[in-house]
Amino acid sequence: MIRTRVGYAGGQMDAPTYRQMGDHTETIQIDYDPSRVSYNQLLDIFWQSHQPKRRSWSQQYMNAVFYHNENQLLQAEASKTALSQKIGHKVETKVVPLNSFTMAEDYHQKYLLKGRNALEKELVRIYPHHRDLVDSTAAARLNGYVGGHGNKDQLSREIERLGLSIEGKKTLTELVRK
């Protein structure tokens, strides 16, 4: 995972915002290194991280996989079909083309990390410009750990690359107990 950003996609309205989303869906954009993780591996993680049998109750919160090209479409549809067969139920998640992505407002970015002031301050020290913080791999990784994703083994392998102070490392290590 190189970086993550939250935003709006799938609609026709120009410049959607949280208060005026139009026909867009709230989503996450993930930049990744295909030499380290495949699109199919990301799809596997996606299917495990939400409830694919649940129908979307609104366009804003639609369960969707957005694809960039024909190859991603084929992989997403194949993985959706395989999941449906595995669970013996129709998968309600939509597979739709990504025509545009608009970043959400700053207060939505790295939302979980914002609840951990000490860790967020560590990143602000390194990335004084908000956009640089949002686009940083370190912020994506920290936000994931704060959200309960990742384990102690993963953290021990990468904690030195996150740019944290001794106190920041201690705070993060205490959060990640698995």
DSSP 124-142: HHH--SHHHHHH-HHHHHH
Give 10-25 pLDDT, tens digit per residue. 999 999 999 999 999 9
**pLDDT value of residue 55:** 83
- The rounded radius of gyration (Å) of the Cα atoms in the chain is 18
Q: How far is Cα 109 from Cα 105, in angstroms, rounded to an integer?
A: 7
Contact 150, 176 (CB under 8 A): yes
User: Domain residue spans in the chain?
Assistant: 3-103, 110-175
- When the pLDDT of each residue in the chain is averaged and rounded to a whole number, the result is 93
The CATH fold of domain 3-103: Peptide Methionine Sulfoxide Reductase; Chain A (3.30.1060)
Residues 93 and 52: beta-carbon distance below 8 Å? yes
Q: Render pLDDT for 31-48 as a digit per residue (tens, 0 to 9).
A: 999 999 999 999 999 999
How high is the pLDDT of residue 178? 64
